[in-house]
């Protein structure tokens, strides 16, 4: 079975490509980072330079594939809407259309549960629950639009599956915990309501295994499925345990949620108007809100359709992350 993984030089894409290889698939990893591509090739996964703006290159990459896993995306708390749209919507449209033209047996599109987020607590959110009426940021807006593109191609005959993995972490994490640790090493992690917000983490290999299951599960095409570890913990509990594993002091500071959200909005406004250093604000309204509101997912459909069963719990995942973090420093 031949399979293309886009975004294979990224966090989730690389783990997916490597686990697919271990499972016996003939994998090609597509991406834009040649150094990360060389690391993939050293582990036995052929690397193909791939730019989502290049329709002809995408057609060549997808040709003859039994399945395509589309992990590539522009994922950032800050940036220009047109850049997010070009990558997340137009790039996904090129992938989906190429799969239709080339006869790929299945497309697995990695979306995001940020499409639900509307600045309030949402617990055990189901796929049938409506997305936010006003997307929280450009990333969420363009991921939702990309889902609509994929759904439209499904109606034209593409066997497509949409996955929404929540808060990925594990060895190699480039974003979630490194960002929190940078904040913690400065003024301290802001705790709103005592750090009581529930975070629904997903260990990266569990998400990758779900992707592999989605490539072959008979009932998966046409489905949109939530993914998480199914083990929500409070922000304070997570960071307390991580600080213990890393043997680092946990620095926190109490912050009022309305004040923190207002500060994020003001920073966004300032960075849009003024040529400030760094190019992006130190935090945004959205990044503050991720620490302020509880967000958990219902996994009933993923369990039913994929037989999804996370294998790495939060404690073990944090231990593996901490071990990697120490060894890589």
Collapse the DSSP code of 246 into the 3-class scheme (helix H, G, I; strand E, B; otherwise coil) and give the result. Answer: helix
CA atoms within 13 A on the CB side of 34: 0
> What residue segments make up the domains of the chain, in order of their start?
2-165+203-228+296-310
> What is the rounded CA–CA span in Å between residue 6 and residue 92?
10
Query: Which pLDDT band, with edges at 50, 70 and 90, does 186 fall under?
Result: confident
pLDDT at 184 over 90: no
**Residue 107, both tokens:** 């497309």
Q: Within the chain, what is the greatest distance between any pair of CA atoms?
A: 55
- 279 pLDDT more than 90: no
pLDDT per residue over 55-80, tens digit each?
Answer: 999 999 999 999 999 999 999 888 99
Residues 279 and 258: beta-carbon distance below 8 Å: no
Q: How confident is the model at residue 307 (pLDDT cuts 50, 70, 90)?
A: very high
Q: Select from 232, 223, 231, 208 the least CA-distant residue to 302.
A: 223
Amino acid 198: pLDDT: 99
Chain CA centroid to CA 279, Å: 23
C-alpha to C-alpha distances, 286 to 67, 133, 145, 177, 200, nearest whole angstrom = 34, 15, 19, 16, 17
Residues 6+ apart with CB under 8 A from 143: 73, 88, 111, 112, 114, 115
Task: Dump the DSSP string for 84-151.
Answer: HIIIIIIHHHHHHHHHHHHT-SEEEEE--GGGG--SS-EEEE-TTSPPPSS-SSHHHHHHHHHHHHHH
- Report whether 184 contacts 178 (CB < 8 A): no
- DSSP letters for 8-38: TTSHHHHHHHHHHHHTT-EEEEEES-HHHHH
Quick check: 43 and 82 in contact, CB under 8 A? no
Instruction: Give the count of alpha carbons within 13 A of 152, CB side only.
Output: 12
User: To the nearest whole percent, how much of the chain has pLDDT over 70?
Assistant: 100
pLDDT digits (tens, 9 = 90+) for 6-33: 999 999 999 999 999 999 999 999 999 9
Quick one: what percent of the chain has pLDDT higher than 90?
94
Q: Does position 278 have pLDDT exceeding 80, yes or no?
A: no
Q: Pairing mode, if any, of strands 168-169 and 202-203?
A: parallel
Residue 280 has pLDDT above 90, yes or no: no
* Predicted pLDDT at 121: 98
- Which residues are within 8 A (CB) of 90 and not within 5 positions of it... i.e. 6 or more apart? 52, 53
> Homologous superfamily of 2-165+203-228+296-310 in CATH?
NAD(P)-binding Rossmann-like Domain (3.40.50.720)
Mean pLDDT rounded to a whole number for the chain: 97
Which burial class, exposed, middle or buried, applies to 56 when counting CB atoms under 10 A from its CB (0-12, 13-18, 19+)? exposed
Q: Give catalytic status of residue 139 as yes or no.
A: yes
pLDDT at site 211:
99
Say which of 139, 203, 271, 286 is annotated catalytic.
Answer: 139
């Amino acid at each position: 079975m031949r399979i293309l993984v886009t975004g294979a030089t990224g966090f989730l894409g690389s783990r997916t490509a490597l686990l697919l290889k271990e499972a016996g698939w003939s994998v090609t990893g597509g991406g834009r980072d040649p150094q990360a591509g060389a690391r993939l090739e050293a582990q036995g996964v052929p690397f193909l330079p791939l730019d989502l703006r290049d329709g002809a290159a995408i057609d060549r990459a997808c040709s003859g594939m039994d399945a395509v896993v589309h992990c590539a995306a522009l994922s950032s708390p800050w940036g220009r809407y047109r850049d997010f749209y070009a990558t997340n919507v137009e790039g996904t449209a090129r992938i989906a259309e190429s799969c239709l033209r080339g006869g790929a047996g299945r497309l697995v599109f990695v979306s995001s549960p940020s499409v639900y987020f509307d600045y309030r607590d949402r617990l055990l959110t189901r796929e049938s629950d409506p997305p936010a009426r006003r997307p929280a940021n450009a990333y969420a807006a363009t991921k939702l639009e990309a889902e609509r593109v994929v759904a439209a191609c499904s109606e034209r005959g593409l066997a497509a599956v949409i996955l929404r993995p929540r808060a990925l972490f594990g060895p190699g994490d480039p974003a979630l915990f490194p960002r929190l640790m940078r904040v913690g090493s400065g003024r301290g992690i802001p705790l709103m309501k005592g750090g009581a917000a529930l975070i629904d983490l997903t260990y990266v290999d569990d998400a990758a295994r779900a992707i592999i299951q989605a490539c072959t599960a008979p009932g998966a095409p046409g489905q949109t499925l939530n993914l998480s570890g199914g083990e929500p913990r409070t922000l304070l509990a997570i960071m307390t345990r991580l600080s213990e594993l890393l043997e680092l002091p946990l620095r926190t500071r109490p912050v009022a949620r309305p004040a923190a959200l207002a500060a994020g909005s003001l920073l966004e406004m300032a960075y849009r108007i003024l040529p400030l250093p760094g190019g992006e604000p130190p935090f945004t309204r959205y990044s503050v809100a991720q620490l302020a509101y509880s967000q958990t997912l219902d996994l009933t459909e993923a369990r039913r359709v994929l037989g999804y069963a996370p294998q790495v719990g939060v404690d073990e995942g944090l231990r593996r992350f901490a071990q990697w973090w120490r060894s890589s420093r």
